[in-house]
Chain A
Amino acid sequence: MGKLCDVTLTEGDMAISLMGHDKGRLYIVIAELNKDFVLVADGNYRPVDAPKQKRRKHLRFVKKTQVQFDDVSIKKQILLEEQNAKRR
């Protein structure tokens, strides 16, 4: 089983939550705190000025994005990905 390289989560990456009450929700990584934690926002429940701190191991990389770190852009990007996921 291929190991997902966890060092790839950096600012701007889209990630999916694997653990917690928000399991299955998409986020954008807006800052790296340390080797274990990152700050994530979804522009909706978690706006950019009140991001969620999450463990890297509880997130899985989805794709790299070039999104601006403001609520509207992040929300739009996540909605777009969700629509794509439904189409698949």
Chain B
Amino acid sequence: MITIKTDDELEQMKIPGAIVGKALREIEQYVKPGVSTLELNSIIEEIIVSEGAKPSFKNYNGFPAAACISIDDVVVHGIPSLTVLKEGEIVSIDVGAYKDGFHGDAARTFAVGEISPAKRKLIEVTQQSFFEGLKFVKIGGKLGDVSHAIQTYVEKYGYGVVREMVGHGIGRKLHEDPNIPNYGTAGIGFTLKKGFALAIEPMITLGDYRIKIDRDGWTCRTRDGSPAAHYENTVIITDKGVEILTL
């Protein structure tokens, strides 16, 4: 069931959204060769807690950390560990915060030191594909249009769109309806209404779109080992149009 948020609720959602945005802005300076993903996780957790919020992901369905930190071929849901970042890698950091009954959720992909032009292009296209999809997020629009816009933009560059993982509604629960695939047919799906809060998140691979999940039940990798990027924001639909909460 899709929950329609009232104006007050949408206003409240801006608080966790802003905290997530701040955490992602601040973490960028720490992403460099030699830093372990566990250290990044602790910094993110500190930022979230210092704002009086709770990390949404911690213990969510058993996830053990405050942030998902995914290196290179790990698409999403990487568990922070003692693994150290190396020059030339790309790292996706996905953060969620919970405050006053609402969640905020966003992700960015950062470059570790100097990276290859192919990886840089992948990050740029992934980020831009979010904004291509966002053009169709409006009252009366169809969810299929958003998915279709992301897919067509990404596939134009020959990249793969992960099928098994999707974006989602967000609010009092981290994962709410509707599912927002990053692929699909234009003109079909739910009609977007005022009061929707959505987490739109293109997960894009440099090679084949197929993924596999490790034995830890979380770490999601590309099957062919190609690098993957992730970009996500929480957006709300209001009378004035669409608003991004986590920038």
Chain A residues engaging chain B, CB cutoff 8 angstroms:
1-5, 8, 16, 18, 24, 26, 60-64, 82, 85, 88
Chain B, Cβ-Cβ closest to A26 = B215
Contact A24 B223 (CB under 8 A): no
Contact A2 B203 (CB under 8 A): yes
User: What are 11 A-B interface contacts by the 8 Å CB criterion?
Assistant: A1-B60, A1-B94, A1-B174, A2-B232, A3-B179, A16-B213, A18-B62, A18-B217, A24-B215, A24-B217, A63-B213
CB under 8 Å from chain A, chain B span 16-46: none
- B175 interface hit (Cβ, 8 Å): yes
Contact A88/B165 with A1-B105, A2-B201 known, Cβ cut-off 8 Å: no
Chain B residues engaging chain A, CB cutoff 8 angstroms:
56-57, 60-63, 68, 75-77, 94, 96, 105, 162-168, 174-175, 179, 181, 201, 203, 210, 212-215, 217, 220, 223, 230, 232
**Which residues does chain B contribute within 8 Å of A24, judged by CB atoms?**
215, 217
Q: Which of A18, A60, A64, A85 has the most CB of B within 10 A?
A: A60
CA gap between A88 and B215 in the complex, in Å? 10
**Which residues does chain A contribute within 8 Å of B230, judged by CB atoms?**
2
CA gap between A60 and B57 in the complex, in Å? 17
Chain B, Cβ-Cβ closest to A57 = B61
Could you say which of A8, A16, A18, A64 contacts B61, with CB atoms under 8 Å apart? A18
Contact A61/B164 with A2-B203, A3-B175 known, Cβ cut-off 8 Å: yes
**Which residues does chain B contribute within 8 Å of A8, judged by CB atoms?**
163-164
